[in-house]
Amino acid sequence: ERRESELAELHSLEQKFLSARQWKTNYRAHTKWEHYLSCDGSPDPAVLPEINTFMSLWREDQNEDIQLVMEKGEQVLNLIEKLQFLLLDTPPSEITEKETVQYQESILELQNLLHQKYNEATEHLLKTANMPESQNMQAVTKGKNVTFCIWANLKKNIRFKNHVFLDAEHGFDLPQSMATSNIAVRILHTHYDHVSPLWLQCQSAPKLEVLDSEELTQHSKDNVEGPEEEETKPREEPSVPAEDVCSNGRKCAIPFKENNSMAAKNETEEEIEKKSEILDLQSQVEEPPLPEEMNEKEEATLNENLVDLHRFVPVGGVYHIDAFYLPPQAEHIGDWSILELLDGLEAYPYPPEESKDGTYPPVQITLRLSDRVMYFKVPLVARWDLAGQQWRTDGISNITYETQEKRITFEMDAFYTIALLEDAHLNMPYQAWELQPTAMDEALLTVTTAFATIQIQIKGNQCMLSSVVVEEKDVLSHLTGKWRSPVDLRTVLKKAGVNIFPGEYSHKYVSVNKKVTEVRAYQQMALVASAFAFAWSKWNLEASEEQVVFKVSEHLKVDALKDEDWCLYMFNGQKAQKLKITETSEAFSEELEEDSEFHSTLYHMLKDSASKEAIDKIETASFLFIDVVYQLLLATRVLTYS
């Protein structure tokens, strides 16, 4: 009888999750209406006719000035971000499969159009590359998200085969044969990554959503009936068109449906893995077909050259390093300018097609790494393989990394699109974590890793990166102090190289004690986070997969918590208990604290010893605050990855 009463009271509190979901649904509708009323000329990327008209008008626009292309490019990037946010933030019940595919196709078309416009701007610049006879043409144009470097070999002097773009600190050293050729070299650094498969970028992030009313009711029933009666149902995959590859090697259609691997459903880790196996069959990067005579050693070498994008992530954007034939230059005769018109840029083949013995010298490239991202170790240099649609490490050699100068030099046997990748799990498992309330509907989440300490402030329906400390120094100051949604915060942190958000496949690369009850724990922790602080316990690793152990303390003041303020609690989704052991005990024990008893929920376990002020805070806490706390706990998965 007490169990049923406790579950009923918990179910009442859980209605705050539904309130948050409804608020977000209303907010999305309000935002759409506000955009409609603004009449600012910008298209709604979710409306197909509007986005198609926008793209058609820009395709027809003949203005190829690089500055104007960059300005328009910022608008395009903003439209892409809106579509990506819709895919990540919209619950599956509010977005159809057709809309999902439409948004993905719009994203790819916008990305392709943007790259096309940079090529057109490059051609326009090179057609007007005439400089004084004593100089080669060189130019650097910087935008918010792009650094554009171009060099034209007008002198064709063998002594001028290398160049450093001073404003960008990127450089190259060409083979002698190219120094006398009619060529141009471009280093286009996009601070974003539109090269890696889009389906991989999206599926690596767990969907942040809450339970609907039917699921919450079932959740309570499961608590009563017991976990052994839960059933695992495989998720149906949508039937969508197969991929096509555009002429530039970019994918034109994507078989994608957002995989909410850590949705706020009652899923066990085993269920997640089963769904991962289903997705593996569809989402693995295709390898080139192996000749029948290829032996095991050659096959192993080939596989070693492929970059596993579940394990590594590009950091700092993408470097498009190209060589082009220099287009004909304008000739001035009297008042006339005569220019031979060619259709588009023509890539300069290097090594030449007749070179099959591999004796041509490599091209040396030097890149100055961005100060706006973090590389905790020597980055992995990889090239994009257009045919295989994957990153590869072969063709790259003699890598030199200068940590203090943030500079990397390497040689490549041809001109490639380059990315600098980092292990996605460098900061996992976490060394410690702590969540504590700081004021009404405010809290601070601290995650400590082997390389950094990350603090995230929570307030109402938003969160803010408070600080990232590396070797006692604050870094990434351009990201701190800005209020964002949890989805946006996760995106910018991962883009900056600070990944504390496990993906669907992370358990394959990080040794963890998988916790099958962690989602239920996050829900109940979020419900009481306005009055109670939570923290990492070393005994969580000693507990079984069905149990989570953490430190808890009532926290109503701004004073720092002391060691003696903490108590240990254990929760398995069905039962909560206070443990007798402390963090300094010699061995793990499930023995109950004296004068304590079991409860069906964490809320009622804490309620036994809570003050009236704490209970009042819990009952009056904003549903938006509770939802953000839950989203961050679900995204970081501190109970499994610590």
Per-residue pLDDT tens over the stretch 421-438: 999 999 999 999 999 999
Q: According to the per-residue pLDDT averaged within each range, which of 34-38, 181-185, 298-302, 442-446 is highest?
A: 442-446
For residues 392-413, give the mean pLDDT. Answer: 94
Averaged pLDDT for residues 133-138: 68
* pLDDT in the model for residue 403: 92
Which segment of 2-11, 141-150, 204-213, 423-432 scores lowest on mean pLDDT? 204-213
- pLDDT reported for residue 180: 81
pLDDT for 279 beyond 90: no
453 or 29: which leads in pLDDT: 453
For 228, residues 6+ apart whose C-beta sits below 8 A from its C-beta are none
Place of tokens 């072969």: 394
> 382 pLDDT exceeds 90?
yes
pLDDT band at 35 (very low <50, low <70, confident <90, very high): confident
Q: What is the mean pLDDT of residues 66-76?
A: 94
d(CA 254, CA 102): 10
Buried b (16+ CB within 10 A) or exposed e, 346-371: eebebbeeeeeeeeeebbbbbbbbbe
Residue 440 has what pLDDT? 92
pLDDT at 520 over 70: yes
Fold of domain 131-196+306-330+342-352+360-423: Chondroitinase Ac; Chain A, domain 3 (2.60.220)
Specify the pLDDT at position 246.
40
Whether pLDDT at 601 is above 50: yes
Confidence of residue 155 (pLDDT cuts 50, 70, 90): confident
Average pLDDT, stretch 490-504? 93
> What is the pLDDT, as a whole number, of residue 444?
95
For range 453-468, the mean pLDDT: 95
Mean pLDDT of 540-552: 92
Q: Looking at residue 273, what is its pLDDT?
A: 40
Q: Is the pLDDT of residue 460 over 70?
A: yes
- In this prediction, residues 590-613 reach a mean pLDDT of 86
Q: Alpha-carbon distance 237 to 218, whole Å?
A: 24
- The candidate with the shortest Cα–Cα distance to 523, out of 632, 370, 406, is 632
Other beta carbons less than 10 A from residue 311's beta carbon: 16
pLDDT at residue 157 in the model: 72
Asked if 593 and 599 touch (Cβ cutoff 8 Å), the reply is no
Output the average pLDDT for the chain. Answer: 81
For residue 358, what pLDDT band results from cuts at 50, 70 and 90? low
Which of 161-165, 237-241, 390-394 is least confident? Answer: 237-241
User: Is 466 or 248 the better-scoring residue by pLDDT?
Assistant: 466
Domain ranges in the chain are 41-122, 131-196+306-330+342-352+360-423, 430-636
pLDDT of residue 301: 52
Q: Return the closest-CA partner of residue 24 out of 631, 639, 640.
A: 631
C-alpha span between 154 and 185 (Å, rounded): 12
Query: For residue 247, is pLDDT > 70?
Result: no
